[in-house]
Every structure is written in structure tokens, then in C-alpha cells.
Amino acid sequence: MEDFTSGLALLARWDVLAALLIGSVGGVVIGAIPGVGAAVAIAILLPATFSLDPLVGLTILLGIYGSSMYGGALPAILINTPGTAVNALTTYDGYPMTQRGEARRALALAYSASFFGGVFAILCLILLSPLLAMVAPHFGSREIFLAALLGIILVVLAHRGQVFAAGMLAGFGILLHTIGLEPVTYTRRFTFDQTWLAGGVDLIVVVLGLFALSQAFLLLADKDTTPHPQPVKGSMFGGMKELWGYRRVASVASGFGVLMGMIPGVGEFTAQFLSYTYAQKTSKTPEAFGEGSPEGLIASEAANNAVPGAAMIPLLALGIPGEALTAMMLSVFYVHNVIPGPQLFQKQMDFVYALYAAMLILNVIVIVFLLFSTNILTKVIQIPTRFLGLIILTLSFVGVYSLRNSVVDCAIASAFGILGLILKRLNLPLVPIILGMVLGGIMEAKLRTSMVRVKTPLDFVDRPIAALLVLMILMVIGLHIRTLIKEHRDRIAEMDHDHDIHTSQQG
């Protein structure tokens, strides 16, 4: 309790509160504009936050991360285009509701479900934190190496139907991390005697290229379009009351969000899908799903908003990011010499609680903002797509160039921008590259440290958590093989699948 109150005290500063306001409102606006999304915004803002106080910088980024999905529901419901990739499932029931004249009801429910999911996740984390603080110190080098390995395996296997592509891109990410002067023995790796490669490839340059520049190139090279949502009439205040009637679905969906958010490499899509399937199976009107079912909308929105809070667990407790956005945030921690991991939970618990409290407050700010500003947002999203590309391109310059004022960095980012564009057009995942880069670095450092004590392969699993992690890795691989066999048996033709939802699974 003492840590919690001192965490709250850390937040009681005008700059932190201003960051909360800017991050949460900015996140909603960014989320509402189709074609931007939290990943693009966080990539651009990363270098700018390096000069800020760690709590201020992280609060802005957390605000964008936590609130973009609220905003993303708006175009998903009104114009059948998800604002962010994770709102794709929201279009299934949100848009049919708009078509039958229930746009206000759909939006009110989506906002309320998002708020419920977000707050549920943070309350779970606050309650879980003492337990995490007890367990985290038992994670030594071996355990962190194994957890990172599990993360890489999961991120590859989670891209079903594209496992080979995800595997080769994860390998590419690991390779990117190894380029340059190796820090322990000072060996040059893949520098080809080029001085500009000796310093290695910066994660932020890659992130900006893959997420921001690629999106700018994509919008600029494609046809110009302008979304035209209709204004929404009536008050948004009825959503919470109606949500209460669906509290079981909202609670289970949020629970899935928390569980899936905690597992590296899995995230929003699995959480949404599990909760959507659960809601449909237990509904009295399963046939209404996909035709404008409030339960489907609630399941999707409550699950995806519960993930950001939970995704902070592996990041803060073990220093292992589970997806691209937390991987980006990890660099902010490192720049400020705040090293996430077991030590953080032991020594800076107040800082952890401050982050949780900030997330709680941002959910309140966002819901209040949305209740009054939905119609303003419908005007903001009417930006022509090519013009949006121009703005992202100009903003990307600040992100890359302000790092080291290096033209080479900008050229490398451009190359990754083209690669990102090709991957997006081919519907191949970007996340394995980023996680390969970050988790590759963690795995190399931790494996080397742990080798000092490991004499035989069995020494690797002589501690309970390490043994459990190895068991989990074997189980994940075993389950994957079992599913492949089962899928092969009940083969579904490729064209029977819904392609629309896959196209939006980027970032």
C-alpha cells in the first residue's frame, strides 16, 4: 500500500499530468484515423521522448498505446474500416449496427466495453503485482533466456499459415541485432569492412522504417481516398447501463485479454478471437453474431483493451516485450537507464505502480473525452489518405534524423520503409523482425551469462521455473504439430476463409 501511495505521488506533477492528457487524447485521435495507428505514432515520437523525464516519456507512449484502440472503434463502427489493426473484429458487429441506424448505441457500447476491459486489466495487475514481485526475482539468466526463446517460438507459430515467412523474418531480426561490433570480445560481425555498419543497426531506425515510413510510402503510392462518416446523433451516456446487462461477456473477454496480453508473442488477436468465440457459444442468439450483435461488439472491444495493461507484465517484470509496441517502449526504459526486470519490481515498485495508476487515469480521461467529442472525431478522420501519407513522411523525418543527425540512418530507414511496404502489401508480418531484434539481443546476453554455470544440458533445467519453461516450449511445439495434423485432416479450402480480417493484421 505504501508503494502504491508513493506511486500516486510520483504522478502528482504538472508535466506528468499534461503528458497523460496529451497521450490519451492524442492516442484516441491517432487511433481514429485509419492508416495511422499506435505503432506509427509511437515510432515517430520515440526519439522525442528520450529528452523527457522517464515517467513523462513513458506516460505519453502508454497513453497512445492504451487509448488508440478506443479511437479505432469509431471508423470500424461508422465506415467499416478499423482505425487500428486490432479493431478489425469490431467491424463484424459494429458496422451492421450502424447500417440499421444504431450507430450511437454501437459506439456507446464499444466505448463502455473498452473502458471496462482497460480498467479490469489494470485492477488485475495492481492485485497481481505483489505476487509478481515475489516470483520475478526467481528469474535468473537461464529463465529469462528461456522466456525470450518461448516468446520467439510463439510469435513464429502464432502466424498460422505464414509460419515459414514469420520464421525467416524472425531470423532476419536476430541477424539485424548481431550486425556491428560485438560488445564482449569486440569481434566484427557482418560489417563487410564498412564503417557505417560497425555501430550496428539501431532498433529505432528499423522501427521507424518498418512502421512509419512504410505506411507513408503505402499511402503516397496508392490511390487517394477520403472517408466520409455520418455524424452521430444523441447522447453516449447509455452505454455503461447497457453494458451492465452483458457483464458476464465483458468480464470473460477482459479476462482473456489479460491472460493473452501476459503471454509474449500472442496479444490482441488471440484474446479477441477467444472471447468472441466464447461469447457466440454462450449467447442466447448466436445467429446474430456478425449481423450486429452487441455481445460480439463487447467481446471484441473489452478483450483488445485489456491487453495493453497485461502486456506490461512481461515487459516490467522480466524485461521481455511480447509485441512490437512494448518492444519500442523498452528502448525508452534503456535510454533512461531504468532496466525493466526483476530488479525493477524489487527496488522501484512505486515506479511500477505509478505506471499502472497512469493507465487507470488515462482510461478515465479517454472515456470522458469520447463521450463529448465523437462528432468532432468524425470530422478529423476525413483527411485524404495521400495527404495523411505526406504528414507521416514529414513526421518520420523528425523521428529518424533527430536520433543522430545521420543521413545514413535516414537511408537505412528508407530501405526498411520499402521492405515494410512490400511486407504489408504481401500481408506478411512485421512483428517477427522487431521481436527477433529485441529478443535476439536478450537471448544472446542471457545465454552467454548462463553458460558460466551450465556444464551439461541438464543443468539448464535444474531449477523449477527453468524446467517449467522448457516444458511449456515443448508443449507449444507439440500442440502446434497436433493442430497441423488436425487441420490437414479437416482441410478447409483457402478461398473459404475470410481474407478481409487478415489484411488488417499488420503492426
Partner 1 sequence: MIRAKTLQDLFKRYRRPGDLVFAVAFLVFSLFLAINLGDQAKWSSGRLLAQPAFWPHLAVWMMVGFGVLHLIGSLVSPKLAGRWVEVAFWVRSLEFAGWFLGYVLLVPRLGYLPSTLVFMTVLAFRLGYRRPVLLVGSAGVGLCIVLIFKTFLQVKVPGGQIYELLPDALRSFMLTNF
Residues 213-272 that bind partner 1 (CB under 8 A): 213, 216-218, 220-221, 224, 269-270
Return all residues near 475 (Cβ < 8 A) that are at least 6 apart.
none
Q: Taking the CA atoms of 418, 420, 422 and 425 in sequence, report the sign of the dihedral they define.
A: negative
Q: Where are the alpha helices (DSSP H) in 314-430?
A: 324-335, 342-347, 349-380, 385-404, 407-425
Scan residues 127-156 and list those touching partner 1 (CB under 8 A).
Answer: none
Grid coordinates of 341: 526486470
Least distance in angstroms from the C-beta of 345 to partner 1:
28
Cβ proximity to partner 1: between 136 and 421 the closer is 421
* Residue nearer to partner 1 on the CB measure, 7 or 227: 227
505, with CB counted inside 10 A (0-12, 13-18, 19+), is: middle
CA atoms within 13 A of residue 390's CA, in its CB half-sphere: 6
Cell of 408: 545514413
For residue 201, give the 3-state DSSP assignment.
coil
- Position among 79, 410, 412, 439 found at the interface with partner 1 (CB under 8 A): 410
Give the binding range for partner 1 (CB under 8 A) out of 161-169, 320-328, 335-343, 360-368: 161-169
| 181: enclosing H helix or E strand | strand 180-181
The contact pattern for partner 1, residues 307-346, with x = CB under 8 A and - = no contact, is ----------------------------------------
Q: Which of 411, 461, 467, 473 binds partner 1 (CB under 8 A)?
A: 411
The answer to whether the beta carbons of residues 339 and 205 sit under 8 Å apart is no
| Shortest Å distance, C-beta 425 to partner 1 | 7
Residue 395 C-beta: closest distance to partner 1, Å: 6
Paired residues of 188 in beta bridges: 181
Among 67, 98, 129, 162, binds partner 1 (CB under 8 A): 162
Residue of the chain from 77, 205, 395, 466 that contacts partner 1 (CB under 8 A): 395
Q: Which is nearer to partner 1, 218 or 438 (CB)?
A: 218
Taking contact as CB under 8 A, which single stretch among the options 29-37, 236-244, 320-328, 395-403 is the one that binds partner 1?
395-403
- Cell numbers placing 468: 517449467
- Computed on alpha carbons and rounded to an integer, the radius of gyration of the chain in Å comes to 22
Nearer to partner 1 among residue 40 and residue 312 (C-beta)? 40
- Interface residues for partner 1 in 163-192 (CB under 8 A)? 164-165, 167-168, 170-172, 174-175, 177-178, 182, 184-185, 187-192
Find the shortest distance in angstroms from Cβ 143 to partner 1: 16
| Contact call for residue 473 and partner 1 (CB under 8 A) | no
CB within 8 Å of 315: residues ≥ 6 apart: 321, 322, 326, 329, 330, 340
Residue 387 is a binding residue for partner 1 (CB under 8 A): yes
Helix (H) or strand (E) holding 309: helix 294-313
Rounded Cα distance between 38 and 213, Å, is 14
CB closer to partner 1 out of 137 and 290: 290
CB of 4 to partner 1, least distance (A): 31
Q: Which is nearer to partner 1, 231 or 384 (CB)?
A: 384
Of residues 481-500, those binding partner 1 (CB under 8 A): 483, 487, 492, 494, 496-500
Q: Under rule CB under 8 A, which residues in 450-469 are in contact with partner 1? A: 451
| Shortest reach from residue 399's CB to partner 1, in Å | 9
Task: Kindly tell me which residue out of 161, 234, 464, 478 binds partner 1, with binding defined by CB under 8 A.
Answer: 161
* The three three-digit cell numbers of residue 88, written as one number: 478489425
Using the contact rule CB under 8 A, the part of the chain among 28-36, 109-117, 127-135, 390-398 near partner 1 is 390-398
Query: Cβ 277 to partner 1, closest distance in Å?
Result: 7
**How many C-alpha atoms does 70 have within 13 Å on its Cβ side?**
36
Produce one character per residue of 222-258: b if its CB has 16 or more CB atoms within 10 Å, e if not: eeeeebebeebeeebeebbeebeebeebbebbbbbbb
Coil/strand/helix, residue 52 = coil
Question: What is the nearest approach in angstroms of partner 1 to the Cβ of residue 122?
Answer: 26
Q: Using CB under 8 A, which of 393, 461, 470, 473 touches partner 1?
A: 393
Site for partner 1 in 40-69 (CB under 8 A): 47-48, 51
N-term to C-term CA, the chain: 37
* Shortest Å, Cβ 354 to partner 1: 22
Helix (H) or strand (E) holding 282: helix 268-282
Q: What is each CA distance from 389 to 71, 217, 384, 386, 398, in whole angstroms? A: 19, 7, 9, 5, 15
Binding positions for partner 1, 71-110, rule CB under 8 A? 92
* Torsion angle in degrees (nearest 10) through CA of 211, 212, 213, 214: 40
Minimum distance of partner 1 from residue 349's CB (angstroms): 30
Cβ at position 421, least distance to partner 1 in Å:
5
Give the x/- contact pattern for partner 1 in 416-445, rule: CB under 8 A.
-xx--xx--xxxxx------x---x--xx-
288 is a site residue for partner 1 (CB under 8 A): no
CB 168, min distance to partner 1, A:
4
Q: Provide the grid cell at 66.
A: 492504451
152 contacts: CB under 8 Å, gap ≥ 6: 170, 265, 435, 436, 439, 440, 443
Q: Cβ of residue 445: shortest distance to partner 1, in angstroms?
A: 10
Contacts with partner 1 by CB under 8 A: the residue count is: 90
